[in-house]
Chain A
């Protein structure tokens, strides 16, 4: 069984559209994350939720809105898509344990904005 899954794997859309990426983890973890990997391959954290509460919110345009309906899901909604939003988006999860933070990443969603 896949530990962290994302849908869709590929997403091609036009500028100005609104799209969502879904993430689910079946590891029983209490913390989930969204990362963005741009064309230069740098991975940057965007958001993190712990027990459905937002705990990390990096400098991300407010066109990006995460939503966590339950501990196993963290979705990313993007409004008014721009060319610069083209990237690979990775979801990850972990279990909060003092001093230990193994994060398990999903396969990524490649978003292309045309």
Chain B
């Protein structure tokens, strides 16, 4: 499976947009990019996923570069409740849902 590289940590001011980068330079054509987050002491939570096109839902936007080697998760208006570890994961469509979590990015939203 392709691996991802994310910054270890980042801070964001409350109310501002948080832009979380992810590199996946070895991604294959049949692999999706998924984002999950884990708030302290809770189970991971699905945020968004995409293949080629940019995606947006009520939680976030996902911007995937044209060569698909990197992506950015955008939290448009960060709140204190968005403080969490954010995981960028690539997964083949035929992998029966096997998610391989890396270390993720610890995002701290400050007042």
Contacts and interface: CB of A to CB of B under 8 A. Distances in A.
- Determine if chain A interacts with chain B: yes
Given A99-B32, A100-B49, A31 B44 contact: no
B43 interface: yes
B55 to A, nearest CB: 12
B97 A96 contact: yes
Interface residues of A, number: 27
B101 A44 contact: yes
Contacts of B26: none
A105 B98 contact: no
A33 B97 contact: yes
Majority secondary structure of chain B interface residues (helix, strand, loop or mixed) = loop
Contacts of B38: 43
Interface stretch (A48-56, A59-67, A74-82): A48-56
Contacts of A4: 43
Majority secondary structure of chain A interface residues (helix, strand, loop or mixed) = strand
Nearest to A94: B97
Contacts of B97: 31, 33, 48, 56, 94, 96, 101, 103
B46 A99 contact: no
Contact of B43 (A44, A92, A94): A92
A43 to B, nearest CB: 4
Contacts of A56: 96-98
Interface of B: 32, 34, 36, 38, 41-46, 49, 51, 85, 87, 91, 93, 96-103
